[in-house]
Amino acid sequence: MAEAKPVSTPDAVKVQGEGARGAPSPDAAYPRPVYAWYVVGVLTVAYISSFIDRQILALLVTPIRRDLNISDTQMSLLMGLSFALFYTFLGVPIGRLADSRSRRGIIAVGIALWSLMTAACGVAKNYVQLLLARFGVGVGEAALSPPAYSLIADYFPRERLATALSIYSMGIYIGSGLALLLGGAILGTVSTEGMWHAPIVGDIYPWQTVFLLVGLPGLLVALLMLSVREVPRRSRVRVQAGGASFREVLRHMRTHWRVYTAHNLGFALWVLMGQGTAAWAPTLFIRTHGWTPAETGLRYGVLVIVFGVLGIVSGGRLADSLLRRGYTDAKIRVCLLGALGASLFLALYPVLPSGGLAMIAFTPVMFFTAFPMGAAAAAIQEVTPGEMRAQASSIYLFVANLIGLGLGPTAVALFTDYVFRSDDALRFSLVIVGTAAALGAAALFALCLRPYRTMVAASKH
């Protein structure tokens, strides 16, 4: 089949009835809502599992530093860069594969891999082995969101997409909260020093049992993913049988560089703020306010689940509501509102004199941090052709996570270790990194508003 001509907008070539490769047009009937929401539910469970495995380290800083004799900066590499390198660089080729192959199968294999690699953290004998296992977790989790975004976009119409992706993105906060709750509960019984002898795996540190207990159940989630049906992709452009090439995706993004650059870099700073906070806020309550890991896991975990979920659902529903009222830039408006709202409290909670006051002030931080997550993902789906969505999503995640996840935890640690040179100065590191990143994200989202409106308007002609 001849190669498709490049197009400048997602709707440049409308298709009626059956489109290229038998894909339905944008106006064709969507799957039954009940089943569509079931698919979102399964994908959300997968996302929850991924964030439990990813965020469990935030509560294990003290015992890991003690037993492996490492610094905050070395610990930050386990939480951020080691994971982010493979998560981001493999996301793009996986996105390319997901635009032409079974998205369900790719996700199932990824879930099984990250679950096994999390369990491998539970048998690592030293820092290097733990670092390598974290690389493997990043490889597995790279296979989730690009194909998941693409799959959800084919199950839901445009006016419900932000809500659907917000429900999926709830997995971030439910998973992170459960990691803290489960980790805190387990640490209450395994916080001793020295080595334990475990059946089959041999001698391990007590904290390593946490990785074994949260990693292996993920294999059941991989099996659950097989109950999801692959659906035809909703094409707004005619492309060759193998899906849009990476060159075509880049050409489309270059044509609309103002939207994609401002959106992706803005969200990268947003992730930098969020990951820096998620990685070190639990340690703030332990190190500065004297809470035990079990106390921190319970209180902080409940707050993350409740207000993270409230924030992300509220943001998604507001974006869909604004769109129905005629605001074509609704998704970017929600991102801007979240950034401005969080920035008001990011400079406050770390410097308050008690843990209770700090937790109260942290509540709106969590709400507004979650607020734009679904809308930001939906914005990419809204302005990207169907055959390009997984690849465009992987590029978006590449930029956001390489900068945000790769640098967020480490930026906080570098200020603590090399600027302030004191573990007790963690609170000031959180203020500087969090506030600067949130304000930078707000500025970029503001720059994105006008070109985004223009791009959406052009796609309707």
Of the two residues 361 and 231, the one the predictor is more confident about is 361
In which band, very low, low, confident or very high, does the pLDDT at 28 lie, cut at 50, 70 and 90?
low
pLDDT digits (tens, 9 = 90+) for 32-55: 889 999 999 999 999 999 988 888
Helices 81-89, 389-400: crossing angle, 10 deg rounding: 160
Q: With 0-12 CB in 10 A as exposed, 13-18 as middle and 19+ as buried, what is 13?
A: middle
The pLDDT-based confidence of 265 (bands split at 50, 70, 90) is very high
pLDDT at 181 over 90: no
Q: Is 96 exposed, middle or buried (0-12, 13-18, 19+ CB in 10 A)?
A: buried
Distance CA 304, CA 296 (A): 11
For the chain, how many helices (H) and strands (E)? Answer: 20, 2
Domain range list for the chain = 28-226+244-458
Element (H, E) at 203: strand 202-204
pLDDT at 163: 85
Position 306 scores a pLDDT of: 94
* From 201-210, 213-222, 399-408, the region with the lowest mean pLDDT: 201-210
Residue 55 has which token pair? 């965020």
Asked whether the CA dihedral 63, 77, 108, 271 is positive or negative, the reply is positive
- The CATH architecture that domain 28-226+244-458 belongs to is Up-down Bundle (1.20)
| pLDDT tens digits, one per residue of 152-161 | 988 988 788 8
| Confidence (pLDDT) at 198 | 67
**Which of 19-28, 74-83, 159-168, 245-254 comes out lowest in average pLDDT?**
19-28
pLDDT tens digits along 310-362? 998 899 899 989 999 999 999 999 999 999 999 999 999 999 999 999 999 99
Nearest CA among 330, 313, 332, 326 for reference residue 174:
313
Is the Cβ–Cβ distance between 307 and 367 less than 8 Å?
yes
- Classify residue 257 by burial, with Cβ atoms within 10 Å: 0-12, 13-18, 19+: exposed
Per-residue confidence (pLDDT) for residue 197, from 0 to 100: 67
Question: How far are the Cα atoms of 155, 263, 406 from residue 459, in angstroms, in the given order?
Answer: 20, 18, 34
Q: Quick check: 140 pLDDT over 50? A: yes
Instruction: Determine the pLDDT at residue 280.
Output: 92
With a cut of 90, say whether residue 453 has pLDDT above it.
Answer: yes
Q: What is the pTM of this model?
A: 0.74
What pLDDT is stored for residue 235 in this prediction? 54
The CA–CA distances, whole Å, from 400 to 84, 108, 179, 269 equal 10, 23, 22, 7
How sure is the predictor about 425, in pLDDT bands with cuts at 50, 70 and 90?
very high
